[in-house]
Homo-oligomer: A and B are copies of this chain.
Amino acid sequence: MTNEQWLELFKGIGRKMRDGLSVILAREGGMVPLGKGAGGDKTFPVDKWAEDIILAALEKARWQGESFTLISEELGIRKFGEGKKIVLVDPIDGSNNAKSGIPFFSTSLALLNDETLSTLAVGYVINLAMGDEFWAVRAQGAYKNGKRIRTAATQGITIVAYEASSPRTDLPRIMPLLGEAQRTRCFGSTALDLSYLASGAISVFAAATASRAFDYAAGMLILEEADGVITDFEGTSLDHLVAGLGRTVPLLASKNDATHARALNILTSRPR
């Protein structure tokens, strides 16, 4: 399969998730019934339902001769043949929002040609609450709903978005950066933070807690293809990181090089 065919497969998964969830959300009052086995008759296990959609699509790719390994938040690691390619999946990124009825969560899908993030080839993110789609194929630019997107070329720090799994320890770490912002945002979905940054809406994004590759790989390629920059908090490229289930590093992402340099300087030069 070509990268473009993988992108079509990812879009198929995303749109099935979105269409099915619209029905579920209407029935459940906006809340996504997550949690395996937690439901009685009244709840519907969305995790299992999402798994089925993803596995059916990947099995189709396998039948077409593709050979790859799936790494997913829900499904863990599963081999579809012995090939080197890796498919990274987060069925619902922003599950705290989804299960409480806050309409900001996504599905994130990425294809790597090998185990390191330097081999990212395709990234796809869909806002499941309202349908915005973001995607990128390596060296072919980034798109939102079919239109080419680029980060903002300006240098001011207007909106700084962040994620923090442990506010008490994470927020003091990034406070100097938040203090430089005209506005802060914390939406609860790293894949969407990176995607809206790629589309020019956000100046800088910091994931203060070490993140997992399936949360950010798709958004990372979308951002880079939109002329954005992403590193760890020390300014080191993420390209050498190996995709897996574990947490890797905190992330700092910016709309352009000049802004990134300034954000790194703010994060590293002040007393914590």
**Chain A residues near B (Cβ < 8 Å):** 29-30, 96-97, 100-104, 127, 129-130, 132, 144-145, 147, 159-160, 164-165, 167-168, 171-172, 175, 178-188, 196, 199-202
Complex Cα distance, B74 from A59, in Å, reads 54
| Set of chain B residues within 8 Å of A188, measured between Cβ atoms | 183, 185
Give Cα A129 to B130, complex, Å. Answer: 7
CB < 8 Å neighbour of A167 from B127, B179, B202: B179
Q: How far is the CA of A183 from the CA of B200 in the complex (A)?
A: 25
* Cβ contacts A to B, 11 pairs, < 8 Å: A29-B144, A30-B144, A30-B199, A100-B196, A101-B144, A101-B196, A103-B127, A103-B130, A104-B187, A184-B186, A186-B186
Residues of chain B lying within 8 A (CB to CB) of residue A97: 201
Do residues B196 and A102 form an inter-chain contact, with CB atoms below 8 A? Answer: yes
A100 to B96, CA, bound (A): 24
From B103, B171, B181, B196, contact of A175 by CB (8 A): B171
Residues of B contacting A168 in the complex (Cβ-Cβ under 8 angstroms): 179-180
Nearest CB of chain B from residue A88's CB, rounded to whole Å: 23
A146 to B, closest residue via Cβ? B29
**Measured between alpha carbons, how far is A200 from B165 in the docked complex, in Å?**
20
Contact across chains for B29 and A145 when beta carbons are under 8 A apart: yes
Q: How far is the CA of A188 from the CA of B171 in the complex (A)?
A: 18
A202 CB contacts on chain B under 8 angstroms: 100, 102
Q: Are A100 and B159 in contact (CB under 8 A)?
A: yes
Q: Do A201 and B102 touch (CB < 8 A)?
A: yes
**Nearest residue in B to A96 (C-beta to C-beta)?**
B183
- In angstroms, Cα B104 to Cα A20, docked, is 22
Q: Contact: B167 with A181, CB < 8 Å?
A: yes
Residues of B within 8 A of A180 (CB): 167-168
In the bound complex, how far is the Cα of B144 from the Cα of A97, in angstroms?
A: 16
Across the interface, which residues of B come within 8 angstroms of A199, CB to CB?
Answer: 29-30, 101
In angstroms, Cα B202 to Cα A125, docked, is 25
What is the CB-to-nearest-CB distance from A194 to chain B, in angstroms, rounded to a whole number? 13
A165 partner residues in chain B, CB cutoff 8 A: 183
B183 touching A167 by the CB < 8 A rule? Answer: yes
* A184 pairs with B164, CB closer than 8 A: yes
Write the nearest CB–CB distance from A94 to chain B, whole angstroms. Answer: 11
Contact A29 B101 (CB under 8 A): no
Chain B contacts of A185 at CB under 8 A? 102, 186-188
Q: In the bound complex, what is the Cα–Cα distance between A180 and B164 (angstroms)?
A: 13
A199 and B101 alpha carbons, distance in the complex (Å): 8
